[in-house]
Amino acid sequence: MTQIDTAAVPAAAAYRALEDRFARISRIGDALGILHWDMQTTMPDGAAAGRGEAMAALEVLSHEMLTDAAVPDLLGEAEAADGLDGWQQANLREMRRAWRNAEVLPGELVAARARAVSACEMVWRTARAEADFAKLLPSLSEVLRLEREAGAAKAAATGLSLYDALLDDYEPGGRSARIDQMFDELAGFLPEFTAAVLERQAAQPAPVVPTGPFPAAAQQALGQRLMEAVGFDFTRGRLDVSLHPFCGGADDDVRITTRYDEADFLRALMGVLHETGHAMYEQGRPRVWRGQPVGDARGMVLHESQSLLVEMQVCRDRPFLGFAAPLMAEAFGGDGAAWAADNLYRLSTRVSRGFIRVDADEVTYPAHVILRYRLERALLSGEMELADLPGAWNEGMAELVGVVPPDDRLGCLQDIHWPGGSWGYFPTYTLGAMAAAQLFRAARDQDAEIEPALARGDFAPLMAWLRTNVHEQGSRLSTDETLEAATGSPLGTAAYIRHLKARYLAT
């Protein structure tokens, strides 16, 4: 970070004091990240209550440091400083944003949310396994009540709607009115397009499904081999198993997880590659600004764009699968037509109307997201009672996806997001898919070496482009500014629709 003569410039000393404070807050966030990873991977169930208290204490400590009475004065003094460079000014902007979002929430609410989420996540594990939504209802009701309270407080302070106030935590500057417009465009395009893809697919011979079993240890070894090809640094991260795949951890200690099915190796493998995309963003953020708000990832739209760019745009495409197919066959001792690159491509891009969001193909996936987006808005606004969620979920699945889940495990209990307190997160998945299409198209247009390199399993040219245009930008720019600088356009549906047409109807 640029050095400032703090003795000569008192206002600059205020900025330096803020940097020190936010660096300490970031370290608390690192500790919380590792505790959360442990809770999802190795923590015994009996430790849940104590872990919830420990995490709540750290959340409150971080909140107290951020909302200390000295912070607004320091912000005011620092904003009056001369000589701050562009990165420092952006960092100061992000500091004020973080303070503004935190100071409207009382510490008691912060602690209550942390405890409620920790408890609800543990109940969700059992309720999901037993397909018993009623078992989750009391604890999820408490999480929803607290999310409404937090959203209402933020909305009152910012003038946003309750939903937009919560969305802003995951996508700074994101607004539901704009999401509605883009989702309406997709909702108008996808039904007819999906029907055409399914009709075309049905007229072709079905791909050959490799026969298992596929031992979990062999799947893990293959996943790690391909993570290394993408560029994941195992000296600063690791791969583990959890009930719901995620990427988390801390600066320079990025933890990703997956879940294995010994009857279907592609499911876990693509999950690993998806989370590796997230991890590459985390490992590629600007090192000099680690621990500062401007050094954080911009938001979940860009974060999801990185995971979906790696998984969907690259690793389910022909060039990469030409490289990966022999490695897959070697990992499981496979041979014959099932292990041919073209067959694996057809399997990896197979479209079907399924129950599970994380296993959905990219044609039907947006419908899963649009459903969750509509439901969480209705739940937060009070237009729908939480007890009515299973029925509303099934009705929405019938309308948007064309299938009805046989039970709640395959329905409204499949995701950890709402039990985990992530209300307002879901739309970023499909917005991220749109951003991924824009970014990958621009990268290939700007560097002709990217596609041939991917066919050799060499991600270096692509990652160099992403480092420069996304990862190393941190939070210096908004999502739209980042996309405009990299691709020439703000976020929109055009590149995504063009990608779907090219992959599913033109080839």
Name the residues annotated as catalytic. Answer: 275
Which residue in the block uniquely carries the two structure tokens 């594990």?
A: 125
3-state SS, residue 67? coil
Task: Enumerate residues 6+ apart whose C-beta is below 8 A from 139.
Answer: 116, 119, 120, 123, 124, 419
Q: How far is CA 247 from CA 1, 29, 239, 399, 499, in A?
A: 27, 14, 9, 31, 26
Count the neighbouring beta carbons within 10 Å of the beta carbon of residue 84. 19
Alpha carbons 28 and 374: distance in angstroms, whole number? 34
Cα 252 to Cα 236: distance, rounded to the nearest angstrom: 5
Contact (Cβ atoms closer than 8 angstroms) between residue 272 and residue 260? no
Question: Residue 241 phi/psi, 5° resolution?
Answer: -115, 140
Residue 163 near residue 424 (C-beta atoms within 8 A): yes
DSSP 402: S
Whether the CA torsion 310, 313, 319, 322 is positive or negative: it is positive
Q: Give, in order, the Cα–Cα distances in Å from 280 to each of 28, 266, 283, 300.
A: 22, 21, 5, 14
CA dihedral of residues 209, 212, 215, 219 (deg, nearest 10): -10
